[in-house]
Structure 1
Amino acid sequence: MADAELPQADDAQFQEFTRAVQDLLVAVRRSRGRLAGQTRPALSLSQVQLLESLADRGALGVSETAEYAGVTAPTATRMLKQLERDGVVTRARTPGDERRVEIALTETGAALLADHRARLQERQLRAFREFTPEHRAVATELIGRLSDLVDEM
């Protein structure tokens, strides 16, 4: 695309696009936050992301868990201490490397996360049913592309 064809920051269509992307990101955060807060103990969206990393990858160090969840290591440490107090995770020094703390889900944590995932899947299924088969294919393609673009921002 030639430079003359690139949208300008004040282009109305570009502004509409950026507002729509921002609205989508905010709506996703609100929805996931509401869903996360329904568990007992109540979990924040960031805490759910920490638990997702442990469920998907097994026991991890704090820095790996933080990276997966998109938070800083100090933030992850604070959240993990609270989750440990609530019996959701365990934190233990790694044998042979006293500097490394390894985090793992407890049975309680795994159950909380499984409940969260089940409720999320129910909501996703309801949303999926709102689309025709043709719109599902288009939405899936566009959402995938949008996810890639957001990751690049």
Structure 2
Amino acid sequence: MKKALVMLATAVAVSGAFAQTPAPASAPMSATAPGASAPAAKAGHERNVEDRIAYLHTKLKITSAQESQWNAFADVMRNNGQTMGQLFQQRRADTNLSALDDMKQYATIAQAHADGMKKLVDAFDPLYSSFSPEQKKLADVTFHQGGPEGGHHHGKGGKKAPAPASDATAN
């Protein structure tokens, strides 16, 4: 269960935010190093969320006419990232939990993730609707390529999605 939690933490904390997008080369996908201070961890987490927002803004070629929808989407990403960061910080601080309390805490995190994803989808819908056909294709590819581990998202037929290309335009 701890391994599953670490995987969830990494996916949620870094994507902060939205389904299965590859990280830019400059945004590390790892969780905070053990022994890092809480303020340093928070700053690193917030930087990762901001890096993800900047990456997606560029990758999706957001226009000035789309900025208001984009800002609403980005704000949800930030809020989700903050919520998840707080929950994981609390989890790191609670080192002496019973098995039952551990499961309850995990359920709280999973529910917060589900709630955050719902909010994110709701914010993404009007943005996606405003996209040009080219932007929709970019979004479809970007969000379908797989998560931080590079392709763990399965498409139709249970096949792994192709790993992102290694050139700078694909990241």
TM-score class, shorter: 0.3 to 0.5
Larger strand proportion of the pair: 1
Please report the TM-score for the alignment, with normalisation by the length of structure 1: 0.34
Bigger relative contact order, structure 1 or 2, given CA contacts below 8 A and separation 6+? 2
Please report the TM-score for the alignment, with normalisation by the length of structure 2: 0.31
**Higher Rg:** 1
